[in-house]
A and B are shown apart, each in its own frame.
Chain A
Amino acid sequence: DSGVTQTPKHLITATGQRVTLRCSPRSGDLSVYWYQQSLDQGLQFLIQYYNGEERAKGNILERFSAQQFPDLHSELNLSSLELGDSALYFCASSAQNHNEQFFGPGTRLTVL
């Protein structure tokens, strides 16, 4: 158990819909990262927040957005969902920037 929690574990929805994925980092960790992993693919970095501020951005689509709240939990919002958005979405946290990252169990999103 990494100490990072993600909800929900599974999510099945239809094209065009909007969903919100939630992540609670390890106690004391200020950085939160979001990754997308499609079937048998690598980890695509989406976005990083540090203590509530956006720190770095990767290949995140305009239909996706994220935020980190004062209690340091983070949410990833995916809208106008397409079939290709089906993937495993991981959240990770670290104490500082570029430190060891602890990954949550992931949220498996299926878009039908």
Chain B
Amino acid sequence: QQPVQSPQAVILREGEDAVINCSSSKALYSVHWYRQKHGEAPVFLMILLKGGEQKGHEKISASFNEKKQQSSLYLTASQLSYSGTYFCGTVIQGAQKLVFGQGTRLTINP
């Protein structure tokens, strides 16, 4: 039931783009994205509901492909502040709980 995130880790230079993927084997009701910096609590980025909508948050946006049960998080022109571990969380249709993936560690170098 746990969603699968890829890649597990990525290292970028400042200004480069990144894509983080999240996939589920079950039909999804919603996908949630959070970022956690080292030693801190996770911080909410966005929620996507089924319907294929795309959302944006500054230079961070995400899409939800309902047919493939996949979501992708896009980080454009990455900044040093984007470093951290990104978690996707999924709610399966008919279920109550939000289950997080294992996370993707993003490192942005100057």
Q: Write the residues of chain A forming the contact surface with B, with a CB cutoff of 8 angstroms.
A: 2, 33, 35, 41-45, 48, 55-58, 90, 92, 97-106
- The answer to whether the Cβ of B20 comes within 8 Å of any Cβ in the partner chain is no
Check A56–B97 contact: CB distance below 8 A.
Answer: yes
* A22–chain B nearest beta-carbon distance, Å: 16
**B residues in contact with A44, CB < 8 Å:** 100
CB within 8 Å for A106 and B41 given contacts A42-B102, A42-B103, A98-B30: yes
Total contacts A-B at CB 8 Å: 53
Number of interface residues of B (CB under 8 A): 22
* B80–chain A nearest beta-carbon distance, Å: 21
* A5–chain B nearest beta-carbon distance, Å: 12
* B48–chain A nearest beta-carbon distance, Å: 12
Distance of A16 Cα from B89 Cα, bound (Å) = 33
